[in-house]
């Protein structure tokens, strides 16, 4: 399982290198394709690419200072397919009004049951 930043970089590499051929990409291209809300720099992208190579998600043909020639391995393609097919379920919370209404209804019901028990059996 990959963390969010590594998955985001892998998605970008998957979009750039959709076919099985080697692709040449620079760190600036990757940074421009990543979401702006996350904090990335050139060093973190390089470390993520090295990690993906060690974990056999990509294979590097050559690596220069800010340029990489890579190809996606089947493990990465399978991971990206599984990530895209996951259905994101949004958690649904009950509004506070419903919670208060249920608490009041249960209190009134238990009070009514106690009154009936007291008058008919007491």
CATH of the domain at 69: 1.10.10.10
**Are residues 61 and 105 located together in one domain of the fold?**
no
Quote the pLDDT of residue 84. 81
Express each pLDDT in 4-13 by its tens digit: 888 888 998 9
CA 10 to chain centre: 12
**Are residues 80 and 40 located together in one domain of the fold?**
yes
Express each pLDDT in 4-44 by its tens digit: 888 888 998 988 877 778 899 998 998 888 887 777 888 88
Does the structure show a pLDDT above 70 at 78? yes
Please count the structural domains in the chain.
Answer: 2
Give the structural domain span for 10: 4-85
Cα(31)–Cα(46) distance, rounded to whole angstroms?
Answer: 11
**Residue 54: which H helix or E strand, with range?**
helix 42-54
Cα(106)–Cα(99) distance, rounded to whole angstroms?
Answer: 11
Say how many CA atoms lie within 13 Å of 93 toward its Cβ: 3
User: Which of 4, 3, 2, 64 shows the shortest CA–CA distance to 34?
Assistant: 4
């Amino acid at each position: 399982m990959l963390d969010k930043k590594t998955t985001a970089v892998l998605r970008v590499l998957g979009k750039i290198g959709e076919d099985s051929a080697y692709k040449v990409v620079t760190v600036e291209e990757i940074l421009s394709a990543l979401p702006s809300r996350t904090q990335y720099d050139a060093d973190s992208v390089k470390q993520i690419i090295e990690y993906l190579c060690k974990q056999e998600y990509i294979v590097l043909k050559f690596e220069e200072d800010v340029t990489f020639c890579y190809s996606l391995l089947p493990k990465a393609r399978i991971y990206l397919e599984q990530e895209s097919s996951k259905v994101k379920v949004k958690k649904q919370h009950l509004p506070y009004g419903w919670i208060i209404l249920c608490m009041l209804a249960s209190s009134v019901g238990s009070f009514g049951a106690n009154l009936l028990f007291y008058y008919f059996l007491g």
